[in-house]
Amino acid sequence: MLKAFFFDFDERKDEVRLTRVVDLTSYLKDNYEEKKFLGKGFSKGRGLRKIGSIPIDVLLAHGIDIHDDNAIRDFLRKHPEYRVSEGEI
């Protein structure tokens, strides 16, 4: 089982508090299965391409700006388990 842990730091109390635990196992299994069927990930007209599926909590936990396409592409290069298609990003 693969889990992601999220913490908050309370500066006034000088405490670290566990705020959330997310089980990523089923999510990553779904990505793996989807990758088997998508191939390179293009739509029928090749106008769209799905390259990855990442829970927003994971991006935020890694300090990734969700509006920065380059940062997300870099994250997918470093974490191919979130890829759902083959080929270049």
**Using one digit for the tens of pLDDT, what is the confidence trace for 6-56?**
677 888 888 888 777 778 888 888 888 888 887 788 878 888 888 889 988
Domain ranges of the chain: 24-89
Q: Report the distance separating Cα 1 and Cα 25, nearest Å.
A: 6
**Using one digit for the tens of pLDDT, what is the confidence trace for 56-75?**
888 888 889 999 999 999 99
Whether the full predicted model's pTM is greater than 0.85, yes or no, is no
**pLDDT above 90 for 78:** yes
**pLDDT above 70 for 4:** no
Residue 52 CB neighbours (<10 A): 19
